[in-house]
Amino acid sequence: MHEIQDWDDLRRRLDARDRRCFAFFHPAIGDEPLIFVEVALHKGLPSRIQPILSGESSYSKNGIDDPEDADTAAFFGISNCQTGLRGISFGNFLIKQVVQELSQELPHLKYFVTLSPVPGFAQWLQEQRDDEQLPSSLRKSLKGLETPGWHQDKPREEELKAIIRPLAARYLVEEKNRHGLPLNPVARFHLGNGAELHRINWLGDISEKGFKQAAGLMVNYLYVLDDIERNHENYTAKATVACSNEVRDLAKRARKLAKGETTK
C-alpha cells in the first residue's frame, strides 16, 4: 500500500473521473471501511506508480479524460483498515466483486490488472549477492545496487536491468516458502485469487520505499475473467504459478545467468 500523505494526496488519487474506490463496510463499525481498493482507469497496462499517485502531466499519455476511453482498470492500492482483522483476507472477495461491477459499469474494459509492489525482493537480491555459488560476474554486477543513485547512471542502470528482471521472474515463479507456495506474499495473494503474473516493470516505483523493498520493481497481475477459476484451482491444488510467456522467458534467462551463461 502506498501511504496517503494528506487530504490533497487523497483527492489527487480519487477525485477524478478516471478513478474509482471500492470498499467493504460492516454495520458494527459504521462508516469506517474494513478494506478498500483504489482503481485507476487507463489506456493500456500501467507500468509506473508515481504518475498515477501524483496525477502529473506524463500520466495523461495513458490516463484518460472520459471513462469511456479506458480499456484497463488498474488496481494500484489495497489496504486492510482494521488492525484487529489483519490476517483475514477480505481482499480476494473485494477484487473479484470489483471486477464484476466494473465489467457491468464499463463493458468496454478489456483488462483488469494490478500495479503491485514486490516486498522482500531487495532482501532476496542481497542474499544472491552473498551467494558464492553464483558466478562472480553476476554478484559483481548486483553490487551496483549499493551505489547511490544507480538508476540515474544509464550504463549501470541498463546493466542491472538485464539481470534484475530475470532474477525477479525467478524469485516470483520459482522461489517457494516452507509450504511450497511462492515466497512473495503479494504473489501468494493475487495468484491465489486466480490472477496471472503478467509483467515485471523496471523502475515501476522510484520512491525510497520502492528501492528499499524491491530495487524499484513493480509487477502487473492480470485478472482474466475466463481464467480466474482455473488459475485458482491449479494454484490451490498444485501451487502452479500462472504467468505470461514474457515472465516465463525471463525465468529461463535467470537460470542461464545462474550458470554463468550469456543471455540476450
- pTM attached to this predicted model: 0.86
List the CATH code of the domain at 7-114.
3.40.630.180
Residues in the chain, overall count:
264
Could you tell me the pLDDT band of residue 84, with boundaries at 50, 70 and 90? very low
Cα separation, 74 vs 220, in Å, equals: 9
Spatial CA neighbour of 60 closest among 74, 46, 73: 46
The pLDDT tens digits for 128-161 are 999 999 999 999 999 999 999 999 999 999 999 9
**Angle value at C-alpha 9, between 4 and 11, nearest 5 degrees:** 120
Domain-by-domain residue ranges, the chain? Answer: 7-114, 121-184+208-217+229-258
Spatial CA neighbour of 90 closest among 101, 102, 78: 78
Q: What is the mean pLDDT of the chain?
A: 85
pLDDT (mean) for 188-197 = 93
Q: To which residue does cell 464484476 refer? A: 100
Query: What's the confidence (pLDDT) of residue 204?
Result: 97
Query: What's the confidence (pLDDT) of residue 255?
Result: 94
Q: Are 254 and 165 in contact (CB under 8 A)?
A: no
Query: What's the confidence (pLDDT) of residue 121?
Result: 98
Spatial CA neighbour of 103 closest among 61, 41, 156: 41
Write out the catalytic residue numbers. 116, 190
Report percent pLDDT > 70 for the chain.
Answer: 79
Q: To which residue does cell 462508516 refer? A: 31
- 232 pLDDT exceeds 70? yes
Q: To which residue does cell 483488469 refer? A: 112
Residue 163 half-sphere exposure, CB side, CA atoms within 13 Å?
24
Which of 64-68, 97-101, 195-199 is predicted most confidently? 195-199
263 vs 176, more confident: 176
CB burial string 174-207: b at 16+ within 10 A, e below: eeeeeeebbbbebbbbbbbbbbbbbbbbbbbbee
